Amino acid sequence: TVIWGQSLKFFDENIKFKNIKNALELGSGNYCGYSLYFSSKLIDTICSNPYGDFESAKKIHSNYDFSEKIKYEKIDALDIPYENKFDCISFKSVMGILGNQEERFKNFDAQKKMIVNISKALKKGGYLIFAENLKGSKFHQYIINKYGWGKNYRGWRYFSINDYFDIVGGDFTLLNYKTTGVVGNFVSRKEIPFKENIKRILGTIDIFLFDKILKEDSRYVIFSVFQKN
């Protein structure tokens, strides 16, 4: 959360939320965090994923009165059933798992199809915002493709900064982006004692040291804000 949680401050700094009346979160997981984020700003929000499983998210959201602004829908990011509907669409860690396993590492077809669907569902001037995984350094790539979610180049696909800009394409104007995270993701095994405390420490070191001294393509997370033309 130290690394990924920075996205909220970044979005606050780059979006005019007073103009946003409704929003959609795609590919939401167990926490559906961006749906809660939108609803805290009293924005009418649809929380969605392709499975229709929201049990854990609803338990978390029920702790907040403003979560009454959230509705839950089963939506596939590759087939969004709305047109000219939303002022803002968000997602976190979605693009790398799109498409069938055989094709995922060969092209951007599934990712670009997702963006076409998002563009269709957004109003003109609406925001596309996301927090996604980056390739990072050569060392990151070695670790994630040998031991991590991208193991043997058959699991999760990790993109470069320019890959994301290419995928989003000409329907949108890039307003701003930020990269962060260098060592914070190297603690993942469940059996490691005090894992979450270690991750918070490493994440803090990233923010105050490595993010400042290393190039942006050495980092493993990107936050982006685009606006529909």
Q: Which among 89, 102, 10, 104 is positioned nearest to 48, based on CA atoms? A: 89
pLDDT digits (tens, 9 = 90+) for 192-214: 555 677 777 777 877 777 778 78
Could you give the CA distance from residue 226 to residue 118 in angstroms, rounded to a whole number? 12
Distance CA 57, CA 88 (A): 20
The encoded tokens of residue 208 equal 């105050």
Per-residue pLDDT at 153: 67
Whole-model pTM: value is: 0.90
31 phi and psi angles, rounded to 5 deg: -105, -25
The SS3 assignment for 223 reads strand
For the stretch 133-170, pLDDT in tens is 998 888 888 877 777 776 666 788 999 999 999 999 99
pLDDT tens figures, 72-129: 999 999 999 999 999 999 999 999 999 887 788 889 999 999 999 999 999 999 999 9
Section 12-39 average pLDDT: 94
